[in-house]
Structure 1
Amino acid sequence: MADSLKSHVEVSSSGADAFIRAYYDMFDTQRMNLSALYRDTSAILWNGNAFSGIQPFTEFYNKLAVSEHTVLSYDCHPLPTQASDPGTPGSIIVNVSGTVKYSNEANQRLFSQSFILSPDPATPDKRFYIWSDCLRFV
């Protein structure tokens, strides 16, 4: 059991590192590709605005001004898996704090963002997707 937990923590940590770099780089430089990280069933709450489905959220973030995110800190941990195979990865919670500067605003904004990343059973390699995304300006 301890080895399985250690393995899940290591996978979560390396996955979170890669996710954080990819997500904010994509948001800032290739926003049109961001929807590939979500599914239509993803729960999205952006600074108090809830989105039902990825299409309305895609339309929203494509209207935002050019952005530049700086991640100040983040933390992650694995959630227990519901799968019968103990080797199957569970979901991962990722909490991020940072700043974002939009090109149409004079000042940076502090933000806090929480993600739940879940393995997608529809993909052969159970690639992770954003199951839940909650951003709040601080």
Structure 2
Amino acid sequence: MADSLKEHVDTSSKGADQFVEIYYKLFDTQRPVLNRLYRDSSAILWNGNAYSGITPFAEFYNKLSSSEHTVNAYDCHPLPTSTAPGTPGSMILNVSGFVKYSNESTARHFSQSFILSPDPSNGSFYVWSDCFRFV
């Protein structure tokens, strides 16, 4: 049992590493592509504003000024799953850092929590839930 949990933690950690690198790079440099990481069923809360699905959220984030994220720390935790060891399951991912928008004079601290679910069609993760907040 302990080995199975360790394998799920290791798999989640590798997925989180890849996701954080890809997500913030896309947000800062290729924002229109960001919608590929979400689904129509994704639940999104951005600084107190709720979005159901990717279309209304994409309309919002594509209107934001250009940005530059600096991730200070992140941590993930696998959620209970019945998948086999080595097979990704869902995870909670918490990220904190700073973001500087081009229309603002200083960077702002942010906290973002994701629930990532495996996408069996391509072996990656998609955002099932996203909660962003300026701190």
Aligned partners of 2:50 and 2:7: how far apart in 1?
34
For 2:101, the aligned partner's letter is: Y
Query: Which of these residues, 128, 132, 136, is aligned with residue 133 of structure 2?
Result: 136
1:89 shift after superposition = 2.7
Aligned partners of 1:86 and 1:15: how far apart in 2?
16
Task: State whether structure 2 residue 3 is matched by structure 1 residue 6.
Answer: no
Q: Give unmatched runs, 5+ long, in structure 1.
A: none
1:12 shift after superposition = 0.8
Q: What is the root-mean-square deviation of aligned Cα atoms in Å?
A: 1.1
1:120 shift after superposition = 2.4
Specify the alignment match of 2:68 in structure 1: 68
1:17 shift after superposition = 0.8
TM-score under structure 2 length normalisation: 0.94
TM-score under structure 1 length normalisation: 0.93
**May I ask how many residue pairs the two structures share in their alignment?**
134
How do 1:27-106 residues align onto structure 2 when only pairs under 5 Å count? 27-81=27-81, 83=82, 85-87=83-85, 88-106=87-105
Aligned partners of 2:30 and 2:6: how far apart in 1?
34
1:126 shift after superposition = 4.0
Q: Percent identity?
A: 71
